[in-house]
Structure 1
Amino acid sequence: MVDTDRVTGAVKELAGKARGAVGDLVGSDRDSVEGRARQAQGTAERVYGEGKDAVRQTANRAADVGEDVRDNAERYYARAEDSVRNAADEAYHYAEDAYDNSGRYLSQGRRAVAHQVEESPLTSLLIAGAVGLGIGLLINSRR
């Protein structure tokens, strides 16, 4: 949309130019000076209108950019939210599987230790004694 100051300024500028030219042609200094003054006034008004148009266009572009930024931010937020939900779901399923399999892992570990103790009872007794001594030293060193 073109600003009205821009249009009226262009009209005044043209009219002033014409009046100045007529004043020059007929030799009237008064008409020539008034024409040049009206031309300058019209030029100033036209430039003012152009400036208002430029500001309006810039504001409209900024509003469009602001909408684009908001839309992008909403899109990135939705993607981040989906990613967090997916990660939480995966962590939940992993923990659920670990809990479901913990009894089996405990049973396997117990059998492995029992087998090791049966295979070499003296070594197992020495290891148990060393672990007990280490725990005792840790407890006494904290007091």
Structure 2
Amino acid sequence: MENDRIAGSAKEFAGKLEGTVGDIAGDAKSQAAGRLREAKGTAQNPYGQAKDAARDVTDAAADYAKDAYENSGETFRDGTQAIARKVQDNPLGSMLIAGAIGFVLAQWLARPTRRAR
């Protein structure tokens, strides 16, 4: 729980108390000071709630990123194993695909570059 939420609630309560005491005593200065303190506490409490929410979102995103990072090696390993099985099952098709990719890359890299005019 964010300190601003606690402090805001405390200020709000103290402001209400001070305003009530001012009402009972008929002291306009105490009433005004109490209402001002209450308003400050009321404003500080949502600020603390927003900070709590931002922290929760940040923590959730960090946990998600950590899980994704930890599982990425496993996913990569699974993909590599799947490709290896496909190559073992169909070596000729794999060679033809690799050759086609090499041919396309060679054509792409060998073409002359365009010059800006």
1:79 Cα deviation (Å)? Answer: 1.3
1:67 Cα deviation (Å)? Answer: 2.4
1:33-52 to 2 correspondences below 5 Å:
33-52=32-51
Q: Which runs of 5+ in 2 are unaligned?
A: 92-117
* Paired AA for residue 87 in structure 1: K
What is the match of residue 67 of structure 1?
Answer: 66
* Paired AA for residue 44 in structure 1: A
Provide TM-score, normalisation by structure 1. 0.58
* Paired AA for residue 13 in structure 1: E
* Paired AA for residue 65 in structure 2: G
1:72 Cα deviation (Å)? Answer: 4.3
> Hey, which of these two has a bigger chunk of helix by percent?
1
1:85 Cα deviation (Å)? Answer: 1.2
SS in 1 for 2:90: helix
For 2:23 and 2:74, locate their aligned partners in 1 and report how far apart those are by CA, in whole Å.
Answer: 66
Matched, 1:21 2:20: yes
**Any runs of at least 4 consecutive aligned residues in structure 1 with deviations exceeding 6 A, and if so which?**
none
For 1:62 and 1:84, locate their aligned partners in 2 and report how far apart those are by CA, in whole Å.
Answer: 31
1:1-143 to 2 correspondences below 5 Å:
2-92=1-91
For 1:14 and 1:78, locate their aligned partners in 2 and report how far apart those are by CA, in whole Å.
Answer: 58
Percentage of pairs with the same residue = 34
For 1:75 and 1:44, locate their aligned partners in 2 and report how far apart those are by CA, in whole Å.
Answer: 48
Structure 1 or 2, whichever has the larger Rg, is: 1
Provide TM-score, normalisation by structure 2. 0.69
SS in 1 for 2:42: helix
Deviations 1:52-72 (A, max 9, x none): 111000100111222233344
Question: How many residue pairs were aligned?
Answer: 92
For 1:17 and 1:47, locate their aligned partners in 2 and report how far apart those are by CA, in whole Å.
Answer: 17
1:89 Cα deviation (Å)? Answer: 2.4
* Paired AA for residue 21 in structure 1: T
RMSD: 1.9
